[in-house]
Chain A
Amino acid sequence: MNSEKLLTVSSSPHVKGPTTVRGVMRDVLIAMIPAAIVSVALFGFRSLLLIAVSVLGCELSEFAVRKILKRPMSLGDLSAAVTGVLIAFNVPSGLPVWQLLIADAAAIIVAKQFFGGLGHNFANPAIFGRIVLLVSFPQAMSAYPMPFAWRVPVAVTTATPLGTISSLGVSGNIADAMKASDALPGLWEMFLGARQGSLGEVCAAALIVGGVYLVIRRVISPLIPCVFVGTVFVFMFFAGHFSLYFALYEVLCGGLLLGAIFMATDYVTSPTVKWAKVVFAVGCGAVTSVIRLWGSLPEGVSYSILLMNILAPSLDKLFYPRVFGAVKEKKKKGAAA
């Protein structure tokens, strides 16, 4: 009996690492806590409500669709919760709750579960949910309440700094025009988050803290976020006539840091090979910059990530590493003749 047990060998893998989907997702959730706290401070308890509703909406969608499709339950892996928080981070605090729920359902059901669930989705579900909202309800998605507006009875909604910059329409020295404009907060305010924007994108400091936590916990590698942000910085440095102020401002604007740290680094929808990752991140940065500078939309982070998500498998194939010791097969010339 005992020897029989000894001789029975299960199939590999025999050694398992401690990393689990649940653990990774829990770390991502922890990394998003600073940004969530800042959003509550800036936009009031409505942002807490939106985050909670979004998480619930995602988990419920996941539960319902897996029940109907008779797939094993996957609520415990927390991936739907991460999607929920990210979608809430991507909307303005005044968004009606029912619109948020539509985005949750679209993200989880259409983008994730219809393609086979976690690990099979072609695009980041949160990005997909945001874009569904963006094209469906452009009005609600561009009404950004002022920070701390929840303390005053009449809430004012305005354009984000990015929208203001593109409406300035200055072709010469953009940095001086920006410094002179009353509608634009200063660099320091941009860094701390005292500006209009989506729930989670406003506070660069909180996002960077979360990103550093993820890097220390080795959940993400800093490669994609650094190259993504770096590309936008370089692009804007040249586009703004070598103005450091303008380039820094553009980096802190919009959802760039949120997208670069939390959404472009999604394991499922970003490449796995190193050089493919670099090209992926450069592509994200370039598309973002091009949309911001010449597109009709003020912000392009979500579209750039969606586009590069779709290219990710091809990039992986393009930069497939050579097996150690293997010789590249020579093309047979004239073999057919």
Chain B
Amino acid sequence: MAEKLTLKQEFTKGILKENPTLRLVLGTCPTLAVTTSVTNAIGMGLSAAIVLVCSNVVISALRKVISPKVRIPSYIVVIASFVTLVQMLVKAFLPALDDSLGVYLPLIVVNCIILGRAEAFAGKNPVLRSALDGLGMGIGFTLCLCAMGTIREILGNGTFLAGIADLLKVFGDNVFGGFNGFDLASHYPGGVVPMTVFILPAGGFFVFGMLIAAVNGIVERKGGKKAREPDCAACPMAGSCAEAGKSGAPKGEDCAVKNGAKAAAAEQAGTDGAPVPAPGTREGGEVA
């Protein structure tokens, strides 16, 4: 990290700018698997968020005790303990959710987001910051799952929040008047049926790709860094490029490849001259 973020930024970065699923592209497997309904998405997101906050706090508190050589097994032990706790609680109080999440609930142990935050953040930062980071990331994950679940459930199944009564049971029976989601398909005009493809894996990938594109667009418009900006190490032209291997990455106009790509892009855009983001504006550090 080039400069220290404020505590508030530490919390909010996980929601959009460094959203774990949409910007860091971690935890893709549960994201695609459980988002066939919003209820599942909320259950999965909150379970993962609870584990994330708890494990971030414990790992951060123990960061000076854990030897770097055995840090990964130690992290896994901590994470697995919390996942077991959450799983037992869900089994006891929300058996229906446990049924619908199936194997993905215990699989939170190997969720890349949680191990990734432990490795990249909690192992190096104080407890309060780690807790805020975990909370932000957890909320970001939950929001992403809910967004995907909403799109997929409405388009693919014609319902919204179906089966939510299973989750609301935590607050007591019939607190919300037995509310169990909306059945939108029954209000559709005659002959209109939901598109099954959206609750199939293929539809999950469509929605995931679209959401990544949308969030990248929003973040870039806000002045964040581009999602993927190749440097010399990843460049296929490095072998024949005169600039490659010189001290430091070639900045802006020096890079022949980028200029070539820019010219091609400008040509393709015609006289319109679509604004090509200037290379070299990349921010200092990158999260590991």
- Stretch binding the partner chain, chosen from A78-86, A133-141, A197-205, A292-300: A133-141
Distance between Cα atoms of A98 and B194 in the complex (Å): 12
A119 within 8 Å of B by Cβ? no
List residues of chain B with CB within 8 A of the CB of A139: 193
Enumerate B263-287 residues with CB–CB distance to A below 8 Å: 268-270, 272, 274
**Which listed residue, B192, B200, B206, B272, touches A70 by the CB 8 Å rule?**
B272
A291 within 8 Å of B by Cβ? no
**How far does the Cβ of A231 sit from chain B's closest Cβ, in whole Å?**
27
A102 within 8 Å of B by Cβ? yes
Query: With A71-B268, A72-B270, A98-B192 known to touch, is A136 a contact of B206 (CB < 8 Å)?
Result: no
Query: With A70-B274, A98-B192, A102-B195 known to touch, is A135 a contact of B200 (CB < 8 Å)?
Result: yes
List residues of chain A with CB within 8 A of the CB of B218: none
A278 within 8 Å of B by Cβ? no
**Which listed residue, A71, A72, A132, A140, touches B197 by the CB 8 Å rule?**
A132
Enumerate A91-126 residues with CB–CB distance to B below 8 Å: 96, 98, 102, 110
B25 within 8 Å of A by Cβ? no
Query: With A70-B269, A71-B268, A98-B192 known to touch, is A135 a contact of B197 (CB < 8 Å)?
Result: yes
**How far does the Cβ of B86 sit from chain A's closest Cβ, in whole Å?**
34
Distance between Cα atoms of A102 and B197 in the complex (Å): 12
Contact with A along B194-220 (1 / 0, CB 8 A): 011110101000100000000000000
Query: With A96-B191, A98-B192 known to touch, is A135 a contact of B272 (CB < 8 Å)?
Result: no
- In contact, B270 and A136 (Cβ under 8 angstroms): no
Query: With A70-B274, A96-B191, A110-B206 known to touch, is A138 a contact of B269 (CB < 8 Å)?
Result: no
Q: Return the chain B residue nearest A135 by Cβ.
A: B197
- In contact, B196 and A72 (Cβ under 8 angstroms): no
**How far does the Cβ of A85 sit from chain B's closest Cβ, in whole Å?**
23
Distance between Cα atoms of A135 and B270 in the complex (Å): 39
- In contact, B191 and A136 (Cβ under 8 angstroms): no
**How far does the Cβ of B251 sit from chain A's closest Cβ, in whole Å?**
27
Query: With A71-B268, A72-B270 known to touch, is A135 a contact of B206 (CB < 8 Å)?
Result: no
**How far does the Cβ of A210 sit from chain B's closest Cβ, in whole Å?**
30
**How far does the Cβ of B212 sit from chain A's closest Cβ, in whole Å?**
12
Enumerate A266-294 residues with CB–CB distance to B below 8 Å: none
- In contact, A137 and B270 (Cβ under 8 angstroms): no
List residues of chain B with CB within 8 A of the CB of A136: 195-198
Q: Return the chain A residue nearest B270 by Cβ.
A: A72
List residues of chain B with CB within 8 A of the CB of A98: 192
Distance between Cα atoms of A98 and B195 in the complex (Å): 12
Distance between Cα atoms of A137 and B206 in the complex (Å): 17
Contact with A along B230-261 (1 / 0, CB 8 A): 00000000000000000000000000000000
Distance between Cα atoms of A250 and B161 in the complex (Å): 46
- In contact, A137 and B192 (Cβ under 8 angstroms): no
Q: Return the chain B residue nearest A132 by Cβ.
A: B197
Distance between Cα atoms of A70 and B272 in the complex (Å): 8
Q: Return the chain A residue nearest B267 by Cβ.
A: A72
Q: Which of A71, A102, A136, A137 has the most CB of B within 10 A?
A: A136
Enumerate A229-251 residues with CB–CB distance to B below 8 Å: none
Distance between Cα atoms of A102 and B193 in the complex (Å): 12
- In contact, B193 and A135 (Cβ under 8 angstroms): no
**How far does the Cβ of A158 sit from chain B's closest Cβ, in whole Å?**
21
Q: Return the chain B residue nearest A72 by Cβ.
A: B270
- In contact, B195 and A137 (Cβ under 8 angstroms): yes
**How far does the Cβ of A106 sit from chain B's closest Cβ, in whole Å?**
9
List residues of chain B with CB within 8 A of the CB of A96: 191
**How far does the Cβ of A262 sit from chain B's closest Cβ, in whole Å?**
24
**How far does the Cβ of B196 sit from chain A's closest Cβ, in whole Å?**
5
Distance between Cα atoms of A137 and B200 in the complex (Å): 12
Distance between Cα atoms of A42 and B197 in the complex (Å): 30
Enumerate B164-191 residues with CB–CB distance to A below 8 Å: 191
Contact with B along A50-63 (1 / 0, CB 8 A): 00000000000000
Distance between Cα atoms of A140 and B198 in the complex (Å): 17
Q: Return the chain A residue nearest B213 by Cβ.
A: A114
**How far does the Cβ of A91 sit from chain B's closest Cβ, in whole Å?**
15
**How far does the Cβ of B273 sit from chain A's closest Cβ, in whole Å?**
10
Q: Return the chain B residue nearest A140 by Cβ.
A: B193
List residues of chain A with CB within 8 A of the CB of B206: 110
Query: With A70-B274, A110-B206 known to touch, is A137 a contact of B196 (CB < 8 Å)?
Result: yes
**How far does the Cβ of A194 sit from chain B's closest Cβ, in whole Å?**
29
Distance between Cα atoms of A138 and B272 in the complex (Å): 44
**How far does the Cβ of A95 sit from chain B's closest Cβ, in whole Å?**
11
- In contact, A138 and B191 (Cβ under 8 angstroms): no
Contact with B along A62-76 (1 / 0, CB 8 A): 000000001110000
**How far does the Cβ of B32 sit from chain A's closest Cβ, in whole Å?**
16
Distance between Cα atoms of A129 and B193 in the complex (Å): 17
- Can you add 10 more A-B contacts, CB < 8 Å, to A70-B272, A135-B197, A135-B200? A70-B269, A71-B269, A72-B270, A96-B191, A135-B196, A135-B202, A137-B195, A137-B196, A139-B193, A140-B193
Residue pairs across A and B with Cβ atoms less than 8 A apart, 26 shown, are A70-B269, A70-B272, A70-B274, A71-B268, A71-B269, A72-B268, A72-B270, A96-B191, A98-B192, A102-B195, A110-B206, A132-B197, A135-B196, A135-B197, A135-B200, A135-B202, A136-B195, A136-B196, A136-B197, A136-B198, A137-B193, A137-B195, A137-B196, A138-B196, A139-B193, A140-B193
The 10 A-B pairs at the shortest CB distance, nearest first, are namely A136-B195, A136-B197, A135-B197, A136-B196, A70-B274, A72-B270, A70-B272, A96-B191, A132-B197, A135-B200
B binding-site residues for A, Cβ under 8 Å? 191-193, 195-198, 200, 202, 206, 268-270, 272, 274
